[in-house]
Structure 1
């Protein structure tokens, strides 16, 4: 019987990363992280808000996740358990970064719920959408961390 979780103790490379768990989560991480990045970048920036931190987190995680996915796709990891441990460490770190960014942008939306005229309400709605996608990104990174830890323990 076929399994989509891949072989235990095996790090896939090439196109197999798009068919195995946890590596299948790379694409949702990039999509939702890119949405957070775009939504925050398109809002009106008001002084003393956490948008700079949120966009820094989303940009950092987007770039590093893309590079990490390319390392696995090109087979540069050579099926070593140290790469599996590094995968767990990176995704746990990214989960914490996204969780802190999610809480900050949600708190900012609660404080700024009235808006200032037409431009303010549009920025508020974009911040709300960014907050939702930031929490979704946190969830996807968390799920990837859990499955990466299971894979790492199987080495």
Structure 2
């Protein structure tokens, strides 16, 4: 069993394999939670615009890049090389840093603005989903690092 796990961790999936391998199965939850952050922040009054603009940038950027990354792996446009495994690790590590900074700034803004209860609840949900997306990207980055190491 250990040999099978090491073998699957040492190769990059393509096609339907992205729906069955350990780190790549996280693409869909990353898209769902990132999309929820995007939708929830966009549905509220953007005040102050600067930190919430960063949250919107992070959620849209990571959503689009994760979708493109999933398409590249699903279509098999990558060759099974160490460079793609490294790029996978680098992207997901960058996404962790982006979402962590966005989640912290969104939590700070949410705590400081408690005037409208409806918007406050929407922002709390966005904070929870932002930190959930951070956790998913973190797990994906760790598993991508392990896969890169086995190359």
TM range (shorter): over 0.9
User: How many corresponding residue pairs?
Assistant: 150
- Normalised by the length of structure 1, the TM-score is 0.91
Q: How does 1:103-118 map to 2 (within 5 A)?
A: 103-113=104-114, 115=115
1:16 to 1:5, Cα distance in 2 relative to 1, 3 A? farther
Q: Aligned match of 1:127 in 123, 126, 140?
A: 123
CA contact (8 A) 1:5 1:21 kept: no
Structure 1 position 47, deviation (Å)? 3.4
Deviation at 1:56, TM superposition (A): 0.8
- 1:68-87 matches, cutoff 5 A: 68-87=69-88
Deviation for aligned residue 1:5: 7.4
TM-score of the two chains, using structure 2 as the length reference? 0.93
Cα RMSD over matched residues? 1.6
* Equivalent residue number for residue 63 of structure 2: 62
Distance 1:50 1:5, change over 3 A: farther
Q: Which of structure 1's runs of 4+ aligned residues deviate more than 6 A?
A: none
Identify, as 1 or 2, the structure richer in helix: 2
Aligned to 2:9, the other structure's residue is in SS state coil
Separation in structure 2 between the aligned mates of residue 26 and residue 99 of structure 1, nearest angstrom: 18
- Which residue in 1 is equivalent to 2:140? 144
Correspondence for 2:40 = 39
Residue 84 (structure 2) pairs with residue 88 (structure 1): no
Query: For structure 1, which runs of at least 5 residues remain unmatched after alignment?
Result: none
